[in-house]
A = this chain, B = another copy of it.
């Protein structure tokens, strides 16, 4: 069975991990969650309330990581997913994360990223020259990485599909599934 890899960690956004995780399992892929270490992760809920100028944060779901970044052999995986929340801010500095990300871009394997996920691509040096969605407040980071920001629910740039945040899941995953079925079918 084809395997898909998710790169995340504590403080990742709950829905942004769980939706693609469960969606790809539903599709028939085997899905592995990699994190700084192999243990139970604590995700958060990012949402909006009236009268607060950015997203709120509450504690969300917990879920076990399947393996540590250091133990990831990217050859084992046909595609890569990088959810958002506050995990991308720190996992992007992990040398293994950068090694893994570069593998997928070098081999032109499908990649889906969302919200703060593009920060990881930027840190790995693979965002330059590309077009991407992202959490809109990150537009300066996208530009600083030499990429073009598009404020859209699903941006397709080759085999890379990006979105702005969890409300974009439907369009974002619909497009990623098209890429995935074409490039890396379940079997």
Which residues of A pack against B, CB within 8 Å?
Answer: 9-11, 14-15, 18-19, 22-23, 25-28, 35-37, 39, 42, 44-45, 47-49, 51-62, 86-87, 89-90, 92-93, 119, 122-123, 137-141, 144-145, 166, 169-171, 173-174, 177
Contact = CB atoms under 8 A, between A and B. Distances in A.
A54 B139 contact: no
A58 B10 CA distance: 15
Contacts of A48: 62
Contacts of A58: 58-60
B122 A144 contact: yes
B36 A53 contact: yes
Contact of A14 (B45, B122, B145, B174): B45
B90 A25 contact: no
Nearest to A168: B22
A53 B10 CA distance: 6
A125 to B, nearest CB: 9
A54 B170 contact: no
A22 B169 contact: yes
Nearest 5 pairs between A and B by C-beta? A25-B170, A144-B144, A26-B170, A123-B140, A10-B53
B173 A54 contact: no
9 contacts: A11-B55, A14-B14, A15-B15, A19-B19, A26-B170, A54-B87, A54-B90, A122-B140, A144-B145
